[in-house]
Homo-oligomer: A and B are copies of this chain.
Amino acid sequence: MHQPASTIDHVFHALGDATRRAIVVQLGRGPASVSELATPLPISLAAVVQHVQVLEASGLVATRKQGRVRTCSLIPNTLLEAERWLAQRRALWEGRLERLEALMQVRTSIDHAATTAPVDAATEEEPA
């Protein structure tokens, strides 16, 4: 699994780098030129340009060039997509938990009633 695939792949790969996240943080405060982004960073301008390219390819930032200055800004919707990806995994897992806890409730309240009874909901092998 060494090749990039979906958009979400690009997004998370882009966010996987600390410098790029620093750039995202900065852009959260508002649009900025490449040089402005570079100023607080301990790397060369050229390196920042490369990071911006990665961020742009991932759909996390948009850039527009006017004259000699390229202005970068966040695309919040892509942030949202990443959020949703995470939220979905979490929701699935927490859904499972809830079902398990519900099952525990039933088990402990009925308890001795039916030890061999088919309490088979939500353990393994979901239908789809």
Say whether A76 contacts B96, CB under 8 Å.
no
- Copies of this protein in the assembly total 2
Say whether B1 contacts A9, CB under 8 Å.
no
In Å, the complex CA distance between A29 and B124 comes to 9
Say whether A92 contacts B29, CB under 8 Å.
yes
Say whether B89 contacts A24, CB under 8 Å.
yes
User: 8 Å CB contacts to B: which residues of A1-40?
Assistant: 1, 4-5, 8-9, 12-13, 15-19, 21-22, 24-25, 27-30
Nearest 10 pairs of A and B residues by beta carbon: A16-B16, A1-B19, A28-B89, A28-B92, A79-B90, A1-B18, A76-B90, A83-B86, A12-B15, A74-B93
